Amino acid sequence: MKKTEPRTLSGFMELLPNEQILFEQMKKTIEDTYQQFGFLPIDTPIIELSEVLLAKAGGETEKQIYRFQKGDTDLSLRFDLTVPLAKYVAKNYGNLSFPFRRYQIGKVYRGERTQKGRFREFYQCDIDIIGDGELSILNDSELPSIIYTIFKKLGFEEFTICINNRKLLNGLFEEIGQKENSTEILRIIDKIEKIGKNAVIEELKKLGINPENINKIITFIEIKGTNEEKLQKLEKLNIKNEQFIKGLEEIKQTLKYIGIFGVPEQNYKLDLTIARGLDYYTGTVYETFLNDYRELGSVCSGGRYENLADYYTDKNLPGVGISIGLTRLFYKLNELQLIRANQKSVSKILIIPMLENLEKPIKLTTELRNLGIKTEIYLSDKKLKTKMKYADKLQIPYVIVIGEDEIQNQKVKIKDMKTGEEISAEFNSNDIANKLTNS
Amino acid sequence: MKKTEPRTLSGFMELLPNEQILFEQMKKTIEDTYQQFGFLPIDTPIIELSEVLLAKAGGETEKQIYRFQKGDTDLSLRFDLTVPLAKYVAKNYGNLSFPFRRYQIGKVYRGERTQKGRFREFYQCDIDIIGDGELSILNDSELPSIIYTIFKKLGFEEFTICINNRKLLNGLFEEIGQKENSTEILRIIDKIEKIGKNAVIEELKKLGINPENINKIITFIEIKGTNEEKLQKLEKLNIKNEQFIKGLEEIKQTLKYIGIFGVPEQNYKLDLTIARGLDYYTGTVYETFLNDYRELGSVCSGGRYENLADYYTDKNLPGVGISIGLTRLFYKLNELQLIRANQKSVSKILIIPMLENLEKPIKLTTELRNLGIKTEIYLSDKKLKTKMKYADKLQIPYVIVIGEDEIQNQKVKIKDMKTGEEISAEFNSNDIANKLTNS
């Protein structure tokens, strides 16, 4: 028979089981934390009507969309979880309780040019809190404590949640008469990490901003010191613009309560350079960096927006949210060996029968499973060596070999595959479970 | 601004949060059970090259495929999890340990005509055990114990796992000289539940089978009694065909060990009428029915196949697997009110601050979360009535209102929202956690 080469599309992550185990553990850590903070699950389709999904989209994103016809219907694959959330909330408004706290973890699709570490199919892990008409600024302080909890649980210590408020920047732009250019200026400032200060100044010049005002912008984004010192310097800029003053008030409040929500001081800071390129955000913005791997980019980002769903509904739905791009994060952490896919099996015990009649080994297996112990039994008729090799290759922690002797004496030996040590136990599931707990 | 109507494609399930909570619980029960039995997770892309995905497909399925061009590439969305598994095993053969036990839970796509209870996007929850060259028949006995464990955990008692072996049927067809017609005959027999015995006889006549042989087929599928009696009647048919004899041996062995794997006698039976329409299966086949809701169709099906991946590789990879179509199952059980989406919140406690300074309520919230208690805090500045209504609507089990008195006296009352009862506790997370455990 002619064979088709079994291959996976480039830009689509497909992991070996040991990597997948680790990926699932990380996903579960994120999901459990979202639940710990009282967020509700939702699950929206991957395929939507193009008319609905692209109601708000445009520019770069639209080019990347997977869009196609099925029969007469114009369909698209979702490119994020925010637009589906907007649709969901607008559609189900009457059936939801506000503030609506939801999480969604799922795959999204962007037909980017393929390059190393860039994915066309990737998991986003999102939470958002949506208010009906209003949403307290205190919610902006709660989200960093969720980011903090997750990255701690994932085993990181040295990371910084950077916080800014778009009203500060927008107010500054208004103050210097550059309101119309604000999106463009934000885009330029956002690149300062990548291209450096001088290149930013050059780009601002090209926009036609005069040196004095460029100086104000640069002075602003170069404000340094502790959070407290930065806030004082912002006050001293003496900007009278209303939006700026509101932003300053908001960021003060936000920073104060982040600590109260339990985030240690070394894990968050006011960073006036982050803006999140998108036009979308209107208040608080977040980016999160691993201190020693800033080149990795932000591992968790988000922010506050005025109105989630204005393309679908007249209701005013302000919100604040964050997103973790898990596929890229996993790829990068794995590449840097900051995580290790050491676990090759989910089973704790492998039962190896060396008998004609498998009745007793199978019964023991079932009993162990019923006690909640992840157990496998090797069912094929092979040599002991082959069976042990299977346990070795999968690094199953414990092995119990059952032959005629074990049946007759009603005793087994639990072999610890790491140390080689053997623990004696009665031929019954409870005693085996006890011995494992104590070992 | 012109509004786009926020709507979801028909045939795509999108649940409200309370239903989603239940759906996620069912999914988790299935996943936990798969892990309990030592299956490894894999996650393959939803999009594959059409050439790879459709290497084996044809007929009905191909018409339903979501297939489209992106640039120069011919892409398709997966329509099941078996073809991606075949690709995965063929591609990663050298990196896997056999028998390879994998589970995969994910969405698949079929552009079926929309009708009530039929979905175009739906979850499949699959496990398969793949052997390298051979796979012991004992594995066929292990799978029913997994089905049994899952449906028990989902709260069902009255269900039956129906088991048959395709070699019996195929051997019978060979014996009566109808080997060429076997796929067609299987398709007809498979409908006996739906169309009745007489209609089956008519359809068999149309195939040109003589009355004597039709009689043999009907006698065969009408064999009744206990498993033991059925096996005896099959022996008495005195069919000499080699395949039939092999099938009889296999089904005897399979049935014997299903009991040993812990499935009670009332939950499984030999059912000679089930064939699973697909050409694909070559040995054991499974279907699972809720006894009182047989019209629901099989809620978990599968079987044994000779060769998983012959379109991709020369390796001989026999396997056995089962699949649960979770989306349809959820829909049907919900419709029949056999499951109830009662839980509207994941949180256990809602903290309601009635103070200017939220420092202490927030600190308590963080401490409760750190103790692993799912906790929410109501952050917006509203009247107590509005805040209590939120707790009521989401049916959050416990509420703690914190005002100046609670701060001053360092005491709180934990209100049980179901009974209205109030439990007194110290104003600290440990005491609150203790009181909740004991209540």
**Contact with chain B for residue A149, Cβ under 8 A:** yes
Mean pLDDT, chain A, whole residue set: 94
| pLDDT of res. A427 | 97
Q: How far apart are CA A31 and CA A46, in angstroms?
A: 19
Confidence category of residue A278, pLDDT binned at 50, 70, 90:
low
Q: Cβ–Cβ of B379/A136 closer than 8 Å?
A: yes
Q: How many CB atoms lie within 10 A of CB A347?
A: 25
Q: How many CB atoms lie within 10 A of CB A222?
A: 12
- Window 277-316 of B: residues touching A by CB (8 A cutoff) are 309-314
Closest CA to A261 of B375, B415, B72: B375
Q: How near does any CA of chain A get to the CA of B64, in Å?
A: 10
DSSP string, A337-397: TSS------S-SEEEEE-SS--HHHHHHHHHHHHTT--EEE--S---HHHHHHHHHHHT-S
Q: Which domains does chain A have, with CATH numbers?
A: 17-44+81-335 (3.30.930.10), 349-438 (3.40.50.800)
Q: Cβ–Cβ of B121/A372 closer than 8 Å?
A: no
Average pLDDT over residues A392-411: 97
Q: What is the ipTM of this complex?
A: 0.94
Q: Cβ–Cβ of A21/B41 closer than 8 Å?
A: yes
Q: How near does any CA of chain B get to the CA of A230, in Å?
A: 23
Name every chain B residue with its beta carbon within 8 A of the beta carbon of A92.
16
DSSP-assigned letter for residue A12: B
| pLDDT of res. B58 | 59
| pLDDT of res. A114 | 75
Q: Quick check: A19 pLDDT over 60?
A: yes
**Contact with chain A for residue B390, Cβ under 8 A:** yes
Q: Cβ–Cβ of B345/A262 closer than 8 Å?
A: no
| pLDDT of res. A370 | 96
Query: Who among B48, B99, B109 is closest to A9 (CB)?
Result: B48
Q: How many CB atoms lie within 10 A of CB B67?
A: 16
| pLDDT of res. B80 | 95
| pLDDT of res. A355 | 94
- Percent of chain A surpassing pLDDT 70: 98
| pLDDT of res. A235 | 94
Q: Cβ–Cβ of B17/A139 closer than 8 Å?
A: no
Confidence category of residue A279, pLDDT binned at 50, 70, 90:
low
Confidence category of residue A183, pLDDT binned at 50, 70, 90:
confident
| pLDDT of res. A429 | 97
| pLDDT of res. B59 | 55
| pLDDT of res. B175 | 92
Confidence category of residue A189, pLDDT binned at 50, 70, 90:
confident
**Contact with chain B for residue A37, Cβ under 8 A:** yes
Name every chain B residue with its beta carbon within 8 A of the beta carbon of A23.
43
Contact by Cβ (8 Å): A342, A315: no
**Contact with chain B for residue A87, Cβ under 8 A:** yes
**Contact with chain A for residue B101, Cβ under 8 A:** yes
Q: Cβ–Cβ of A90/B313 closer than 8 Å?
A: no
| pLDDT of res. B184 | 87
Query: Who among A1, A55, A98 is closest to B4 (CB)?
Result: A55
Average pLDDT over residues A159-186: 91
Confidence category of residue A277, pLDDT binned at 50, 70, 90:
low
Name every chain B residue with its beta carbon within 8 A of the beta carbon of A36.
369, 372, 374-375
| pLDDT of res. A2 | 83
Q: Cβ–Cβ of B262/A90 closer than 8 Å?
A: no
Query: Who among B49, B374, B394 is closest to A36 (CB)?
Result: B374
The number of C-beta contacts closer than 8 angstroms across A and B is 263
Q: Which residues of chain B have pLDDT under 50?
A: none
Q: Cβ–Cβ of B6/A41 closer than 8 Å?
A: no
Q: How far apart are CA B19 and CA B16, in angstroms?
A: 5
Using DSSP bridges, classify how beta strands B411-416 and B422-426 pair: parallel, antiparallel or unpaired.
antiparallel
The values of phi and psi at residue B337, to 5°, are 55, 30
**Contact with chain B for residue A70, Cβ under 8 A:** yes
Q: How near does any CA of chain B get to the CA of A89, in Å?
A: 9
| pLDDT of res. A344 | 96
Helix (H, G, I), strand (E, B) or coil at B40: strand
| pLDDT of res. A59 | 55
Q: Cβ–Cβ of B312/A6 closer than 8 Å?
A: yes
Spatial neighbors of A88 by CB under 8 A, at least 6 apart, are: A42, A44, B6, B14
* Lowest-pLDDT range of A212-216, A257-261, A421-425: A212-216
Q: How far apart are CA A277 and CA A189, in angstroms?
A: 9
- Window 215-254 of B: residues touching A by CB (8 A cutoff) are none
Q: Cβ–Cβ of B86/A6 closer than 8 Å?
A: yes
Note the pTM of the prediction, 2 decimals. Answer: 0.95
Q: Cβ–Cβ of B7/A91 closer than 8 Å?
A: yes
Name every chain A residue with its beta carbon within 8 A of the beta carbon of B369.
36-37, 149
Query: Who among B3, B24, B45 is closest to A121 (CB)?
Result: B45
User: CA gyration radius for chain B?
Assistant: 28
Q: For residue B372, give the chain A residue with the closest CA.
A: A36
| pLDDT of res. A60 | 59
Disruptive mutation site among B15, B47, B137 for chain A (greatest number of A CBs within 10 Å):
B47
